[in-house]
């Protein structure tokens, strides 16, 4: 976490973007992205050399190479999940108890007629840079677990560190998307987005398909029966009369 804090604060503008994508079957992907503008990138240096991603990969994350989009260089890590329980576990690991995503939960409820997927929780950035601290470092270094890094960067940039970092959480569901976030220090904001898949149309479609199949089978069977009857009549009519 200390390395992450250095990377996040070491620049003029850094974007931290989390995207939770849930598919219709409940599976999906959690993507964590960090974007650096040119000034931030100049402070951090060569991302391919600075980033240490072995632990992430061992935990099942796929880490993309840095990619430049517009005036921002992004680094993205992805982790797939099979269901809501696995998604919730990943969210808890990503944020931790003191992180920005509080009580963030994915739920899926199903019945005969529909399946509803909901993402609800709170994006709380009010703690500012303290969210990126490491409790073990705090014990050693005191309240400023960065050993003076934050005040130094603030003095060099002439503005609070909170103004340099923007955090966004986006939930993407089938047919519904919601994004919540802002600069560090922003007050808590709720997020609650849901989407429903109506099974009625699917059931009707299957029923219609079943009826069509049955009718097709009946028509074919009737035609075959008619042909057999015609053959029998023809055979009878061709028999010699006594």
The string of pLDDT tens digits covering residues 15-45 is: 889 999 999 899 999 999 988 888 877 777 7
In a domain, 162, yes or no: yes
In a domain, 155, yes or no: yes
In a domain, 59, yes or no: yes
User: What average pLDDT does the structure give for the chain?
Assistant: 79
In a domain, 85, yes or no: yes
Residue predicted with more confidence, 57 or 7 = 57
Task: Tell me which H or E stretch contains 222.
Answer: helix 199-238
pLDDT in tens, 96-120: 777 899 999 999 998 877 889 999 9
Letter string b/e over residues 4-41, b meaning 16 or more CB atoms within 10 A of that residue's CB: ebbbbbbbbbbbbbbbbbbeeebebbbbbbbbbbeebb
Domain residues for the domain of 143 are 2-199
Q: How far apart are CA 188 and CA 124, in angstroms?
A: 4
State the first-to-last Cα distance of the chain, in angstroms, to the nearest integer: 106
- For residue 149, name the pLDDT band (cuts at 50, 70, 90): low
In a domain, 32, yes or no: yes
Give residues with Cβ within 8 angstroms of 91, minimum separation 6. 20, 30, 101, 104, 105, 106
In a domain, 167, yes or no: yes
In a domain, 209, yes or no: no
pLDDT value at position 54?
A: 76
pLDDT value at position 158?
A: 67
pLDDT in tens, 190-206: 999 999 887 566 656 66
In a domain, 219, yes or no: no
pLDDT value at position 117?
A: 94
Number of domains in the chain: 1
């Amino acid at each position: 976490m200390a390395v992450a804090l250095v990377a996040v604060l070491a620049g003029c503008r850094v974007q931290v973007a989390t995207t939770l994508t849930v598919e219709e079957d409940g599976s999906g992907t959690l993507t964590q992205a960090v974007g650096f503008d040119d000034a931030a990138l100049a402070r951090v240096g060569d991302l391919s050399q600075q980033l240490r991603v072995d632990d992430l990969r061992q935990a099942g994350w796929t880490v993309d190479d840095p990619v430049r989009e517009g005036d921002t260089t992004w680094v993205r890590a992805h982790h797939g999940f099979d269901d809501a329980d696995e998604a919730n576990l990943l969210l808890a690991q990503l944020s931790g108890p003191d992180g920005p995503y509080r009580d963030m939960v994915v739920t899926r409820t199903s019945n005969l007629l529909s399946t509803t997927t909901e993402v609800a929780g709170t994006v709380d950035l009010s703690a500012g840079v303290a969210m990126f601290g490491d409790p073990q470092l705090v014990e050693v270094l005191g309240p400023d677990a960065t050993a003076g890094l934050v005040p130094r960067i603030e003095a060099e940039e002439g503005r609070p560190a909170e103004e340099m970092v923007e955090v966004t959480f986006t939930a993407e569901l089938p047919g519904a998307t919601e994004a919540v976030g802002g600069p560090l220090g922003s007050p808590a904001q709720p997020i609650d987005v849901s989407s429903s898949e109506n099974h009625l149309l699917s059931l009707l479609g299957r029923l219609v398909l079943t009826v069509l199949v049955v009718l097709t089978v009946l028509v074919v069977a009737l035609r075959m029966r008619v042909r057999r009857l015609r053959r029998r009549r023809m055979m009878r009519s061709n028999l010699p009369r006594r």
